[in-house]
Amino acid sequence: MLDKNETLYVIHYIELDRGELHFEGVTNNFDAWLKDHNEVRAQEGISIDDAEDFDVQEVGISYF
pLDDT tens per residue across span 5-43: 788 999 999 998 888 999 999 999 999 999 999 999 999
What pLDDT shows up at residue 56? 98
What pLDDT shows up at residue 19? 84
**Under the phi-then-psi rule, with left for phi > 0, alpha for psi from -120 to 50, and beta for the rest, what region is 19?**
left
DSSP state at residue 46: -
Cα 22 from Cα 62, distance rounded (Å): 26
What pLDDT shows up at residue 6? 84
